[in-house]
Structure 1
Amino acid sequence: MMIHYDIIIVGGGAAGFFTAINIAENNPKLKIAILERGKEVLSKVRVSGGGRCNVTHACFIPNDLVKFYPRGEKELKGPFHQFCSGDTIEWFSNHGVELKIEDDGRMFPISDSSQTIIECFLTATKNLKIDVLTGQSVQSIYASETSEATYWKLDTNHESFKCGKLIMTTGSNPKIWEMLENLGHSIIPPVPSLFTFNIKDTRIKDLMGVSAVAAVKVKDSKLNASGPLLITHWGMSGPGILRLSAWGARDLAAKNYQFTLQVNWLNDMDFESVSDALKAIKGENAKKLVSKFCPFEFPKRLWESLLTAAGITTEKWADVSKKQLNDLTNQLTNGQFQVNGKSTFKEEFVTAGGIDLKEINFKTMESKLLKNLYFAGEILNIDAITGGFNFQNAWTGGFILANAIANES
């Protein structure tokens, strides 16, 4: 038996729910269903932001906001002028959820719980009579054309569906990408985007939990970033590393995650200025123990570790040789660490890859190749650094898509 809907949204995540709610609010008479292959919906929302849900980021200027997207910067400029972070705040406020801004610009519900966002979405879909069907794994998608329009048919593991408009919000789902490729779309092969670096090195071996604001660079490349760097039991993490992993997603995959990482633990201080500072400190603190007097705003345990790496153990400043001072300056401004592999950043798995952006009309989020087929969220070759930006892409795409359908009705 074929089940008919006006609109079917495949994917019960953030983009799927936001899109469905906006469509239904614009067009209350439309019969809408969300198909989710899992037993639960919004599972990624639940774990995002450490269970608090990093809804968006307090960057309110579209031309600035796009700079946080390694893939999608050019394409999102127009959409962000229509629905940006400030619009997200207003939307959630209108739906009973107030957001707060943290010091680093990330925005969370004031409840500090992702359940608040989940309940907001579930309540809205229920009130708008949107059918949410779980355990529906799509097995095939095909277009059925008439002289007037293109209809879509879907077979799941349980039922067959027919709809006038089909919206894909399945995120990084290789099986769905393969079906869309068979329909004529180009898929940019996916690679991980947000990940941490596996490093075994005596300089950081026992420093788990130590952090510093650092500049990081992939040796012999143009890839660089800066920000807080966190030492972990497996290597390095923190916003600076995640930023580098996002911008370098494809290049680092090509290197099979084997490369040399250059770390400037003092961020914006160069070799010459650090060398001059150390020489001045040596002259002024000749009788003090080097290990007890760290001249920079710097974690004490890391300072001691880098002193050891530079061959400085029990010396007073007066006894530090020119070579040791030079080696210490190198350790501080250009520490070289061998990266051997990556680790997923918490549960927030993000990929670079997906539907080729050239095949999407970003004024409507409709496929340029297939009529009445739309996309939103991470199914597209769009991804961002950590901080609420990937969710903002989902909200903006869903809003534009819903408006496009409203304008057709």
Structure 2
Amino acid sequence: MNRLVVIGGGAAGFFCAVNAARLHPGLEVVLLEKTGKLLSKVKVSGGGRCNVTHALSSISDMVKRYPRGTQFLKKSFMHFFVPDTIRWFEERGVSLKTEEDGRMFPVTDNSQSIIDCLLREADRYQVQVKMHADVVRMAKRADGWTIHLQDGQELTAQYVCIAAGGYAQAEKFSWLQALGHTIEAPAPSLFTFNMPQNPVTALMGVSVPVAQVKIAGTKLQESGPLLITHWGMSGPVILRLSAWGARLLQAQEYTFTLLVNWLPDYHESSLRDAWPQWRLDMGGQMIYAKNPFGLPQRLWHFLLQQCGIHEEVRWSELPGKEQNKLIRHLTGMEFPVKGKTTFKEEFVTCGGIRLSEIEPDTMQSRVVPGLFFAGEVMDVDGITGGFNFQHAWTSGFVAANLGTLKKS
């Protein structure tokens, strides 16, 4: 019975399993994965490079990157934070590097480096990994747990850590609700915006280094790189906006208006004030040929066409009506959105186990002793940039201490 069963073979589950086996000699650790794949999100993250974490040294700055779970993370990050993650992997032969935007990757630029490291640790500390082991029910016993699998097998354990990831449908949480836990309704997060039949989709592949995007009628607003796709819009700025707006956009059935400011250094009135100087400086030049804003040429031509501006018009000849329309399009162009698309395989779900029912310093259930949680199964989710993985490492490490954690 001196056994820990970890349910879920993703980043959080693996990190819990290997650290528990290391920290508690003599503890038998069994990891259950319901599919035939281990660490599948680690594999695809960051385009196959694995965005391990984000180079923020301040917990107060870090928690601002999580639409849900801020107060909880302020406590859990005190026990295992970014420097601990970097050191943990470096001590096991995996050095990380920081990119310009703060994202951190293995120096190999290959997610397999992280996967191999975790698998080596599992072998070193004799973690038993069972694949195709789908848990359907758990029962509390006086001395621990009985875990019932889909194929009829039963396992007993003194401790259980649930790191099963997020579920898109609320009914998938029923086996956890049966333990007495409350579930915050799931909603998709980190998705791209669909714009069916919108002419902007003809610009697929065009990216803008910094655009400001806003959901009309709300305070939700983000700035960052934007990518135009054949279905609508994507890129870090859209994914971040989708995370902050996850519940609102679900309630609106993903039908809303997106406002895009292609020139975030300006708003409509300030651009209008600056316009006469450009008109004067470039008066004799064709407006299609001369784009003073550094926008991709295909996007510039698209904006001009949407304003009905003829190819032969010079800057000095631009009629007032078209000029006003262009200024509005540059600083607040409206795009009707109808629907969403999951971002590759890096989907994230908000919702899960209610955080007030989990002790942030141990990850132990406040409802049932001997039950721990790690990763996305909890109602914690971050924007893109390594934040969800940092929560996975932190919660997995804290849970691995099985309630005995001292400040690391």
TM band (smaller chain): over 0.9
Q: Give the Å deviation of 1:113.
A: 1.1
Partner of 2:214: helix, strand, or coil? strand
| Counterpart pick for 1:36 among 25, 33, 36 | 33
Q: Distance in 1 between matches of 2:333 and 2:146?
A: 57
Partner of 1:269: helix, strand, or coil? coil
Partner of 2:334: helix, strand, or coil? strand
Is 1:283 the counterpart of 2:280? The answer is yes
Residue 385 of structure 2 aligns with which residue? 387
Is 1:257 the counterpart of 2:254? The answer is yes
Partner of 1:295: helix, strand, or coil? coil
Is 1:296 the counterpart of 2:289? The answer is no
Residue 111 of structure 2 aligns with which residue? 114
Q: Distance in 2 between matches of 1:280 and 1:407?
A: 64
Q: Give the Å deviation of 1:5.
A: 5.2
Residue 168 of structure 1 aligns with which residue? 162
Moved more, 40-49 or 261-270: 40-49
Q: Which amino acid aligns with 1:267?
A: P
Give TM-score scaled by structure 1 length: 0.95
Q: Distance in 1 between matches of 2:351 and 2:194?
A: 23
Q: Which amino acid aligns with 2:62?
A: L
Q: Give % identity.
A: 47
Q: Distance in 1 between matches of 2:291 and 2:109?
A: 38
Residue 152 of structure 1 aligns with which residue? 145
Where in structure 2 are the equivalents of 1:56-135 lying within 5 Å?
56-135=53-132
Q: Give the Å deviation of 1:358.
A: 1.0
Q: Give the Å deviation of 1:205.
A: 3.0
| Counterpart pick for 1:18 among 15, 19, 25 | 15
For the Cα contact (< 8 Å) 1:198–1:341, is it kept in 2?
Answer: yes
Q: Distance in 1 between matches of 2:59 and 2:395?
A: 14
For the Cα contact (< 8 Å) 2:261–2:332, is it kept in 1?
Answer: yes
Residue 197 of structure 1 aligns with which residue? 193
Where in structure 2 are the equivalents of 1:323-402 lying within 5 Å?
323-402=321-400
Q: Give the Å deviation of 1:310.
A: 1.4
Q: Distance in 2 between matches of 1:25 and 1:184?
A: 31
Q: Unaligned 5+ residue runs, structure 2?
A: none
For the Cα contact (< 8 Å) 1:26–1:406, is it kept in 2?
Answer: no
Deviations 1:100-127 (A, max 9, x none): 1111111111111111111111111111
Partner of 1:293: helix, strand, or coil? coil
Q: Unaligned 5+ residue runs, structure 1?
A: none
Q: Give the Å deviation of 1:403.
A: 2.9
Where in structure 2 are the equivalents of 1:171-320 lying within 5 Å?
171-173=165-167, 177-200=173-196, 202-212=198-208, 213-313=210-310, 314-320=312-318
For the Cα contact (< 8 Å) 1:377–1:393, is it kept in 2?
Answer: yes
For the Cα contact (< 8 Å) 2:361–2:405, is it kept in 1?
Answer: no
For the Cα contact (< 8 Å) 2:398–2:405, is it kept in 1?
Answer: no
**Count of residue pairs the alignment pairs up:** 401
Q: Distance in 1 between matches of 2:405 and 2:45?
A: 33
Partner of 1:54: helix, strand, or coil? coil
Deviations 1:134-153 (A, max 9, x none): 111112111012xxxx5111
Q: Which amino acid aligns with 1:51?
A: G
Q: Give the Å deviation of 1:325.
A: 1.1
Q: Which amino acid aligns with 1:188?
A: E
Q: Distance in 2 between matches of 1:58 and 1:180?
A: 34
Q: Distance in 2 between matches of 1:40 and 1:321?
A: 61
Q: Distance in 1 between matches of 2:404 and 2:362?
A: 11
Partner of 2:270: helix, strand, or coil? helix
Partner of 2:202: helix, strand, or coil? coil
Partner of 2:77: helix, strand, or coil? helix
Partner of 1:251: helix, strand, or coil? helix
Partner of 1:141: helix, strand, or coil? strand
Deviations 1:183-218 (A, max 9, x none): 211111111100000013655132111111111111
Partner of 1:290: helix, strand, or coil? coil
Q: Which amino acid aligns with 1:132?
A: V
Q: Give the Å deviation of 1:179.
A: 0.6
Partner of 1:119: helix, strand, or coil? helix
Moved more, 193-202 or 132-141: 193-202
Q: Distance in 2 between matches of 1:268 and 1:74?
A: 33
For the Cα contact (< 8 Å) 1:218–1:261, is it kept in 2?
Answer: yes
For the Cα contact (< 8 Å) 1:57–1:388, is it kept in 2?
Answer: yes
